[in-house]
Structures are given as C-alpha cells and as structure tokens.
Amino acid sequence: MPDDARFISIPSHKKLTSHFHAKDPIMAQAIEGIGLFKLQRNKNYFQTLCKAIISQQISTKAAETIHGRFCALFPGRKPNSTALQKLSEEEMRSVGLSRQKIVYLKDLSLHFENKTIRPHRLFHQSNDEIIQCLIAVKGIGRWTAEMFLIFSLNRLDVLPVDDLGLQKGIMKLYSLPELPTRKEIQKFGERWEPFQTVAVWYCWRSLDANIISY
C-alpha cells in the first residue's frame, strides 16, 4: 500500500498541535485559535467530479442552478457514468451546459465506464498516481485533482500551491506584504509535512469561519 494511503485516518488534535509546535509555531497558534480540524469526506466520486466541471468559470449561484438541473436528468437525481453516456447533447444543453462542458462530462463518464478511473482502487493509489489519472480527463486540471484528494479521499499531505485561498491565508497568517510565490509555498509545505492538508485547511479557515467542503 502506498505511503499516502495511511493518512486516511485523521490524527488527534493533540498530535497535530504537537507536530506544528515543533515545525511551525505560527501555524500552531492558528490551530489553537481556530479549533479542531474537521475534514468532510465526499465519497460520491463521480458526482463530485461532475460538479467540479460544471462549476468551472461561472458564479457559484449559476453553478448550483445548472448542477441541480443536471442532476434532475438522472434517476433519483444521482448522476452516474452509464446514464450520462446515454444522454444526448440536446438534453445536456437544455440544462444550461456549454458544448465544451458536455465534452468534458462525456469524457469523464467514459473514463469511469472503461475503468481508466476505478473508484475502488483510488484508496490504494498514491497522490501522484491519482492526479495523473484525473488530469487525463478533459477539463480536469491539477487543482481539481488536488481538491479531490483532500475532500473525496481525505489525503492529509496535499499542497495545492496554485490555490488562491491558500495563498491569501499564508499572506494573512504570516503577515506577508504580498501573495507568496509557488516556491515560497513549497517551502512552507516542507515545514508542514506530512500534514500539509491540515495547514492548508487552517489557512482557508483563517479567511472563512465556515467549515470548508467541496
């Protein structure tokens, strides 16, 4: 089993605070101020990735509306790859999807249908293997794959260096004059290993008091 898989179990708050007190006192202070680390897992892998594609480059409100209409195309409002393959372009366009996103969703469903993406194997694959598997789907980039690792698989050592929320959180917590560069974020990540996801989560929470979900 790859090393990444062992991080499915979320460590105790005491263990996390102990780790960060030793490695990064500023992050440790944020952890104590914000409270318990809570990561909500979403096991509906296909549905999560569909929503990620639908949400690209549109407002949250528009994405919710289109996603709701999209789900209504499926029995029980639960999208699945087999049923999606049978939907016509006209049906998908009728709910507000662009032609490009229809291509992306069809390609995603094909990857599930032909077993290129195997949900039951994901648990046993490394972070890098999963990222490479997901970015092979049209319309899915590294950031989306990293969010999937965090929220669908609860991997605890993920560092999405291109995430704006992480950049803003680091700038706030560490009193930086400007957003950190990718290289600077990677340096922070070296301090946080093997709990990079935890530090990322607290950076997000420093900006938004609500529990983060995806």
Residue positions annotated with a catalytic role: 163
Q: Is 154 left (phi over 0), alpha (psi -120 to 50) or beta?
A: left
Q: Which of 76, 53, 34, 20 is nearest to 139 (CA)?
A: 53
Radius of gyration of the chain (CA): 18
| CA–CA distance, 159 with 13 (Å, rounded to integer) | 20
| CA–CA distance, 160 with 131 (Å, rounded to integer) | 12
Burial class (CB in 10 A: 0-12, 13-18, 19+), 22: exposed
